[in-house]
Amino acid sequence: NAGVTQTPKFRILKIGQSMTLQCTQDMNHNYMYWYRQDPGMGLKLIYYSVGAGITDKGEVPNGYNVSRSTTEDFPLRLELAAPSQTSVYFCASSLTGASGELFFGEGSRLTVL
């Protein structure tokens, strides 16, 4: 049972570089989310999607972009990486938003130097 798979698990970027965090789920969930978690802090919502072709901003979308061309995949793009984007990124999915049960990937630890 793969669940939610994120890649890469670790990455170091230089300031100004760009990269894409990949997220795929095999549970046929409509809802997918990207969160970031800074040390000692809770999770902050970056972007979310309620289905293929539909995305919306969360609490901290600046500096990021997403797309949802299929139900399974929800990549997060970082353009012009900045030190403030150093964080752990979690992708999650759920069958319905209201269920409250999110299934998370193992996280991607990103450092921008």
Residues that bind other proteins (CB under 8 A): 31, 33, 35, 40-45, 48, 50, 58-59, 90, 97-98, 100-102, 104-107
Residue placing its CB nearer to other proteins in the complex, 75 or 104: 104
Backbone torsions φ then ψ of 83, nearest 5 degrees? -55, -30
72 touches 26 (CB < 8 A):
yes
Pick the closer one to other proteins by CB: 15 or 41: 41
Q: How far is CA 45 from the centre of its chain?
A: 9
Sequence letter at residue 66: V
State in angstroms the smallest separation of the CB of 104 from other proteins. 4
**Considering just the CA atoms, what is the radius of gyration of the chain in Å?**
13
User: Do the Cβ atoms of 71 and 14 come closer than 8 Å?
Assistant: no
Which residue lies nearer to other proteins by CB, 17 or 44? 44
CB of 80 to other proteins, least distance (A): 26
Other CB atoms within 10 A of residue 64 CB: 19
Which of 13/102 has CB closer to other proteins? 102
Q: How far is the CB of 40 from other proteins (least distance, A)?
A: 7
**CB 33 → other proteins: shortest distance, Å?**
8
